[in-house]
Amino acid sequence: MARLLAAGPTRVMGVINVTPDSFSDGGTYADQTDAVRAGLRMVAEGADIVDVGGESTRPGALRVDAAEERRRVLPVVAELAAAGVAVSIDTTRASVAEAALDAGAVLVNDVSSAADPDLLALVAERGAHYVLMHARGASADMAKRSFYGDVVADVIAELSSRMAVVLDAGIPAERVIIDPGIGFAKRFEHNWTLLAHLDAFTVFRRPLLVGTSRKSFLGATLAGPDGTPRPVDEREDATQATTTMLADRGVWAVRVHAVRPAVDAVRVVTAWHRAAASWS
């Protein structure tokens, strides 16, 4: 993991949702064998990390119990880790994170904004890396909480408050990755404003993970003349446009469903930057 956090081009985190109801790939990897194959394929296509989740966090999603979440993800995490893949576990539960770390995961991707003290204590004890993402409330009702004065200032202030909690729990700052939480308790305009002002997040002096892949604000941006949003399966080109811009801005990693085009986008941006540097 230390190698992945070192300076370099934007990393690509591939998404494996072992769920029946995730907004983009729900049901695609419900079979664990298919999920493992997909993860290995993502690595072959250039993914640096594979993020495995067993509970949908789409707006309005209801929770599954911890036992079911563990049943979904653990065989996938274990097989990918045994194959040498850097695995992230996407969970908000300490019991799931503990089992996944035991199975070989190296990163805990927590979309709850550090809500569970037991999860934080576990990460501190195990020396894992940790993603602190901005969020407000659970997926089932987060849309009701999408009100801000200045969305950039408010998100940074709330992340700063949660970062203090993370540090107090014993997780070293150098093991923390920041995620602005695109799409989580954010309206259309909030997401674009945050993306346009990512430089403000340098205040944390930590790597920045950003996930825009196929999200609803892209569908709304590409809406037809009648206002109908672009369907999820037709948002990939827009996703890669944002990937290109994020790589140009130098974010640490992008979280995507389609790995190869994201890797290609990062390689093109890297070549462009190298050419510009050599000329100057």
Q: How many domains does the chain have?
A: 1
C-alpha to C-alpha distance for 61 and 218, rounded to whole angstroms: 20
Smallest CA-to-CA distance from 55 within 159, 140, 169, 168 is with: 140
Q: What is the CATH number of the domain that holds 245?
A: 3.20.20.20
pTM for the full model?
0.92
Amino acid of residue 263: V
Q: Exposure pattern of 148-179 as b/e (b: 16+ CB <10 Å)?
A: beebbeebbebbeebbeebeebebeeebbbbb
Residue 237: pLDDT band (50, 70, 90) is very high
Instruction: Please give the average per-residue pLDDT across 217-245, as a whole number.
Output: 95
In the predicted structure, residue 86 carries a pLDDT above the cut 90: yes
Instruction: Name the catalytic one among 214, 215, 230, 235.
Output: 215
The pLDDT of residue 29? 67
In the predicted structure, residue 23 carries a pLDDT above the cut 60: no
In the predicted structure, residue 194 carries a pLDDT above the cut 70: yes
Helix (H) or strand (E) holding 269: helix 259-279
User: Is 144 annotated as catalytic?
Assistant: no
Of the two residues 140 and 191, the one the predictor is more confident about is 191
Q: List 209's β-bridge partners, or say none.
A: 253
User: Is 255 annotated as catalytic?
Assistant: yes
- SS3 letters across 151-208: HHHHHHHHHHHHHHHHHHCCCCHHHEEEECCCCCCCCHHHHHHHHHCHHHHHHHCCCE
Print the domain residue range for 272: 2-279
Instruction: Please give the average per-residue pLDDT across 17-37, as a whole number.
Output: 72
The pLDDT of residue 117? 97
φ, ψ at 161 (rounded to 5°): -65, -40
Residue 26: pLDDT band (50, 70, 90) is very low
Instruction: Please give the average per-residue pLDDT across 35-51, as a whole number.
Output: 97
Helix axes 66-82, 32-44, angle to 10 degrees: 40
C-alpha to C-alpha distance for 263 and 246, rounded to whole angstroms: 12
Instruction: Please give the average per-residue pLDDT across 51-69, as a whole number.
Output: 82
Instruction: Please give the average per-residue pLDDT across 98-113, as a whole number.
Output: 97
In the predicted structure, residue 22 carries a pLDDT above the cut 60: no
Instruction: Name the catalytic one among 70, 162, 206, 255.
Output: 255
The pLDDT of residue 226? 95
Percentage of residues in the chain with pLDDT exceeding 90?
A: 82
3-state secondary structure of 26: coil
The pLDDT of residue 156? 98
Q: What average pLDDT does the structure give for the chain?
A: 92
The residue ranges of DSSP E strands in the chain, in sequence order, are 11-17, 49-53, 87-90, 107-110, 129-133, 176-179, 209-210, 253-256
3-state secondary structure of 51: strand
The pLDDT of residue 280? 60
Residue 1: pLDDT band (50, 70, 90) is confident
Exposure of 84 by Cβ count < 10 A (0-12 exposed, 13-18 middle, 19+ buried)? exposed
In the predicted structure, residue 199 carries a pLDDT above the cut 90: yes
In the predicted structure, residue 37 carries a pLDDT above the cut 50: yes
